[in-house]
Homo-oligomer: A and B are copies of this chain.
Amino acid sequence: MRNPQLNKNGELTHLLSIEGLPKGILESILNTADSFASVGEREVKKVPLLRGKSVFNLFFENSTRTRTTFEIAAKRLSADVINLNINASSASKGESLLDTIDNLSAMQADMFVVRHAQSGAPYLIAQHLNNLGVEHIHVVNAGDGRHAHPTQGLLDMYTIRHYKKDFSNLTVAIVGDILHSRVARSDIHALTTLGVPEVRVIGPRTLLPAHIEQMGVRVFHDMAEGLKGVDVVIMLRLQSERMKGALLPSAQEFYKSYGLTPDKLARAKGDAIVMHPGPMNRGVEIDSTVADGGQAVILPQVTFGIAVRMAVMSITAGN
Q: Is B90 within 8 A of A64, CB to CB?
A: yes
Contact across chains for B107 and A84 when beta carbons are under 8 A apart:
no
**Are A103 and B45 neighbours in the complex by a CB distance under 8 Å?**
no
Query: Which residues from 30 to 72 on chain A have a C-beta closer than 8 Å to any C-beta of chain B?
Result: 40-46, 51-54, 62-65, 68-69, 71-72
Interface size bracket, A side? 35 or more
Chain B residues closer than 8 Å to A68, beta-carbon distance: 82, 84, 104, 107
Cα A282 to Cα B96 in complex, Å, equals 9
Q: Mark A5-20, 1 if CB is under 8 A from B, else 0.
A: 0000000000000000
> Which residues on A are within 8 Å of B, measured CB to CB?
40-46, 51-54, 62-65, 68-69, 71-72, 75-76, 80, 82, 84-86, 88-90, 93-96, 99-100, 102-108, 241, 278-282, 299-303, 305-306
- The reply to whether B64 and A84 form a contact with Cβ atoms under 8 Å apart is yes
**Is the Cβ of A106 less than 8 Å from the Cβ of B299?**
yes
Given contacts A44-B51, A108-B303, A302-B107, contact A82 B93 (CB under 8 A): no
In the complex, what distance in Å separates the CA atom of A106 from the CA atom of B95? 38
Task: With CB as the reference atom, state the residue of chain B lying closest to A85.
Answer: B64
Instruction: Name the one of B46, B89, B279 contacting A94, with C-beta atoms under 8 angstroms.
Output: B279
Q: Do B80 and A62 touch across chains, with their CB atoms under 8 A apart?
A: no
Minimum CB distance partner of A74 in chain B: B80
Do A89 and B108 touch (CB < 8 A)? no
Contact (Cβ within 8 A) B94 A306: no
